[in-house]
Structure 1
């Protein structure tokens, strides 16, 4: 699909490939705020005596089946205490009983300071986090969480198009409610395989019914309307509207390609799967000074290769913004592609292997503390 307005540099994490000066200033402010919050809430590679993540235990107050393979959980403090605030687009990190760390978008009401709501689709053949949520977190179960963080902030532009694919409706739904509350000119389109697979249908119907303009919410099941083209989705945008998009990688990539030819003013997006590797080069990882050498092919991430050798290596977002998978490089040149580490941290050898790589043929020697026992 041709793009009439060329993009000279790749869009940032928030999907702003051609923002004006106002959006650039907003992006800089957002990046600074998100980075500060992330630094306070994300554990470093090695335990620190001065920086400890804030973790609290919540209880599953209610659990509800929202669609095929999708459950929602309402989490409350066991003592009924007030919870930290959040804004549309924020996510919550769960520390599951197995030790896995997984992040899920908050999809409830930010004004409700006593409950968080998340929704999780069971992913067959995934990393096990979604299956654990479905199988282990029933009503009354307790789970540790860190405070909400926001890597997909809603700027509340005067006119917006909200595009969700499947479970991608979770961060989009609070944005729609906020747009309605503020009286913005907004549209929402939700796509999915079938109506049965698309969560929160009743809430979207209520949102549509409450809107003065009945043409604000569009439901597009693939088995009824066919798989929509990205240009078709973008054509629903109000004049010069900002686009917020969350869904599977093919949908996001299609929207990005079609964005330049649309009349939209800005593009913000969040993936719920790691982006495809399109420009990778093979390199090597060595675990310690005398440990095994692991080849990293051009089409795999360093994290994927590391996790096979070190199953206890933690990870979460797989997109370079949470910092959970942080490792320390003792020797070698890193091609940093994250949005989390500071220049000082990079200079000191930190690396996020979920997205960062090395030049072709380079060998990165990693410190393997505290996972050295796995190599014995």
Structure 2
């Protein structure tokens, strides 16, 4: 079964904060029932939550749509654990109908062992795999071109002596936050600081003023969160203020109707390579020997099946521990089909303040997507260009 502490729920005619509070309270009751292996009680509670969710106005239901599939999936798990095979399969079918797409989680979940070999269940899992085996989708999408291309403009990075970056550095005393250890420890400490300063809220709208100081102060005063894009932007400017070359990378799925995720790519002069840093989940990625990896390396390892691991303290909002299976095999494997970032990494690149122009962006697609690359400006399959080091 899947833990649901990071999903959203609501009640009619209430705010989203009321929604989250309600769902958190109910989830605690469900967890208590599961802990006592009272699966019948857990099923009753999840059905009660489901009835409430289905009673919400349409606009609320759109915001919390993933909840329905997850609730039906959990109900399928309870029924499987009680050996109610037919009822479990029916609930799983409804889970898929209502947006459950986590193929990797499904095939590994021990709660479903009692229905694992049932023909109806295996047929649904096969269909689920066709569209949601994301490492395999990446494999089918293929790789990139690697060539020198002098016609494409170089990526640039705002220097730390910029007045706005100096203001950020001094206001938050980033020297103290980063500490006086080596470069890698500073990179990780800044990652953890941003993660703890601002909580993630995927439904949060972008504030009109995107000044980093104002963003953090507003979130603390109003007890509100930010989406992954804005959290990444905060970390990006903190890295730049400390003299670290950094980019915010929008990681995109193959289907443009799906959600995306924004993480950071920071350059380590010590290792002479880019590094994956995700402030939303306080996460970085390593190989089996603990070597830090970049986005390109993670994508290649997901395709080949090579070992990957994430740091032990990776988490969502300091409430839910993140696992390699969910974070990489499912969530990020889905979102590594193509990557997009601004050409000039700097201060306030995505402000909504009137009069600000849209920044120039570059998107890296796999070479199999030439139909997109040839039709749209700012697109390339040249990985050598896209991942160029700041020294080039």
Whichever structure has more helix as a proportion of its residues is 2
Q: Tell me the TM-score normalised to structure 1 length.
A: 0.28
Larger Rg: 2
Whichever structure has more strand as a proportion of its residues is 1
